[in-house]
Structure 1
């Protein structure tokens, strides 16, 4: 029972306390990729912790404290556990494992649903682009005759970068290159999968502070990460000016747009550059993100705690 309480406390820390602290962290906007990893690590950690807490509650009278041997045996992964001294598990064990399994299956199911729905929506939009757009080999994009300046991408297998005639008219060659590099960064980085994971987690746990913060912050951080990739090919001033020109452009719901609601934050970041976190800090964040899901395993598989 003590282990279950410890896991519940850890889940509270990960689900309510850590998200507020990470959302306020000043370093996150200057190191978006480690910050994205941190949010993903928190989401995975929360699911693992809740699943293990339910496992302990369900099997607390069935030698759950046999540690890792007991955990693997209950999952059917260690059939020879009796020879190691563990008591045999009863036929009721599969039913006892149902609640933790559902905790894991819920976000996974939402992730599959989200990615499938987004893929269907992109297919419909690609069919529309085949009618209203035409290939532009010069820009390696699809050109749409529309007066509003807009640049966006459709990720996935049938990836496309879309640029309107209005954007070509108002952007210089360097500015257009900057926003195109931004959109290609979304595609090559497979950012749609990160966004789908955050969206799925938010749907699975809609009232959880971690879910709300993770969805909002992931969307912003993906844009910042794409900006950083674009800055390899252009100056900050060029990208900032281009961003201002296309900020009002609307992108489809399943697409990544160069403008959008995060434009003001991105402009401030581009025009007021500061030194990012040290390399050791980045490594520490990455290491902590990987280690956080292991903590509940150590709690669950530790010695008898009562």
Structure 2
């Protein structure tokens, strides 16, 4: 069973390397591409981890379905039951944490709408009275359309052209459905701790995506940079919760965002550069998911083959070690 253990360790360790590759690649891609790539990477890596755990959890049950006595399995792999129990416990914990995190998202979204009820509507904009300086994109909830929430303190702070930048920024979040990308990666981060770094990277690139859309809407990158800097320096953003899918112009590493707006607009890769980027992502990130799916399938095939040999097939192997020999051409 050595090869199985090696595959398990590699599959569970791959996300650590995959997230590093994904973050570095995101740093050289335009914001929109970076956000989509980071979200896809988080989903693939989380799916690979879950597939590995499911494969481990099912080994004793697959053996029983194939009429393979558990005692014979334990003779070859004494740790199979502890491994299966650990995998089952991990899956249970992940399921509970996923449900809890999803409920938390819904509760926080409900609270955000309740806090915005006192706002005065002007089209898709809600102006909330108060001295706080804040603005954020509020996704739709229970039949209510999405809105841009701005405090009166923020309105007083910014000049007219800067307010246009702020509103364009938050509208870009809503138009791009950035809150869904944020929520997906936030939930994926529950599955494997390495994915948390992708969540942090995604927040930055989502803000950069909205910054670029806002700069294009007003037609002046310098004005957009000044507006983002002024809003962030004065922003209070009280009561925010990490991972909350509401995105604000005052969040993320603002100095880097302002610096990027003072540079020329990033250009999406074309031709060979695009193909190279897609190939790199597919190879480095999807590898974890593919390996995990292969492990789940391989475990099933391994137990099925072993069962056929041990329940009386003529010329069969006398033990599961013989099955390993037949499958991998070695004794261990």
User: Which TM class, normalised by the smaller chain length?
Assistant: 0.7 to 0.9
- Give the corresponding residue for 2:163: 176
What SS does the corresponding residue of 1:162 show, helix, strand or coil? Answer: strand
Once residues 104 and 256 of structure 2 are traced to their aligned partners in structure 1, the CA distance between those partners, rounded to angstroms, is 29
What SS does the corresponding residue of 1:224 show, helix, strand or coil? Answer: helix
Equivalent residues of 1:153, 1:161 under 8 A apart: yes
Once residues 53 and 179 of structure 2 are traced to their aligned partners in structure 1, the CA distance between those partners, rounded to angstroms, is 26
Equivalent residues of 1:147, 1:164 under 8 A apart: yes
What SS does the corresponding residue of 1:301 show, helix, strand or coil? Answer: helix
Number of equivalenced pairs: 274
**Superposition RMSD in Å:** 3.6
Once residues 203 and 89 of structure 2 are traced to their aligned partners in structure 1, the CA distance between those partners, rounded to angstroms, is 27
- Map 1:189-200 onto structure 2 (within 5 A): 189-200=176-187
Q: CA deviation at 1:282?
A: 4.4
Among residues 236, 241, 244, which one is paired with 1:250 in the alignment? 236
Q: Does the C-alpha gap of structure 1 residues 59 and 130 become closer, same or farther in structure 2, counting only changes over 3 Å?
A: closer
Q: Give runs of ≥4 in structure 1 deviating > 6 Å.
A: 89-92, 95-98
Among residues 284, 288, 297, which one is paired with 2:279 in the alignment? 284
Q: Does the C-alpha gap of structure 1 residues 231 and 102 become closer, same or farther in structure 2, counting only changes over 3 Å?
A: farther
What SS does the corresponding residue of 1:233 show, helix, strand or coil? Answer: helix
Once residues 186 and 115 of structure 1 are traced to their aligned partners in structure 2, the CA distance between those partners, rounded to angstroms, is 20
Contiguous gaps of at least 5 residues in structure 2: 72-80, 302-326
Q: Deviations over 1:17-48 (max 9, x none)?
A: 33234334432565422233223322322332
Once residues 88 and 190 of structure 1 are traced to their aligned partners in structure 2, the CA distance between those partners, rounded to angstroms, is 50
Q: CA deviation at 1:135?
A: 0.9
What SS does the corresponding residue of 2:117 show, helix, strand or coil? Answer: helix
- Give the corresponding residue for 2:139: 155
Q: Does the C-alpha gap of structure 1 residues 101 and 219 become closer, same or farther in structure 2, counting only changes over 3 Å?
A: farther
Once residues 152 and 13 of structure 1 are traced to their aligned partners in structure 2, the CA distance between those partners, rounded to angstroms, is 36
Name whichever of 5-14 and 108-117 sits farther off: 108-117
2:223 aligned with 1:238? yes
Equivalent residues of 1:4, 1:54 under 8 A apart: no
Name whichever of 171-180 and 264-273 sits farther off: 171-180
Once residues 182 and 44 of structure 2 are traced to their aligned partners in structure 1, the CA distance between those partners, rounded to angstroms, is 14
- Give the corresponding residue for 2:7: 6
Among residues 37, 48, 52, which one is paired with 1:49 in the alignment? 52
Report the TM-score when normalising by structure 1: 0.72
What SS does the corresponding residue of 1:199 show, helix, strand or coil? Answer: helix
- Give the corresponding residue for 1:69: none
Report the TM-score when normalising by structure 2: 0.67
Equivalent residues of 2:42, 2:195 under 8 A apart: no
Pair member with larger Rg = 2
Q: Does the C-alpha gap of structure 1 residues 215 and 154 become closer, same or farther in structure 2, counting only changes over 3 Å?
A: same
Q: Does the C-alpha gap of structure 1 residues 32 and 24 become closer, same or farther in structure 2, counting only changes over 3 Å?
A: closer
What SS does the corresponding residue of 1:257 show, helix, strand or coil? Answer: coil
Q: Does the C-alpha gap of structure 1 residues 40 and 267 become closer, same or farther in structure 2, counting only changes over 3 Å?
A: farther
Contiguous gaps of at least 5 residues in structure 1: 64-73, 75-86
Equivalent residues of 2:45, 2:286 under 8 A apart: no
Once residues 272 and 283 of structure 1 are traced to their aligned partners in structure 2, the CA distance between those partners, rounded to angstroms, is 25
Once residues 11 and 165 of structure 1 are traced to their aligned partners in structure 2, the CA distance between those partners, rounded to angstroms, is 49
Q: CA deviation at 1:246?
A: 0.9
Q: CA deviation at 1:155?
A: 2.2
Equivalent residues of 2:55, 2:295 under 8 A apart: no
- Give the corresponding residue for 1:127: 114
Q: Does the C-alpha gap of structure 1 residues 17 and 153 become closer, same or farther in structure 2, counting only changes over 3 Å?
A: same
Q: Deviations over 1:109-134 (max 9, x none)?
A: 42332232222223233223223x21
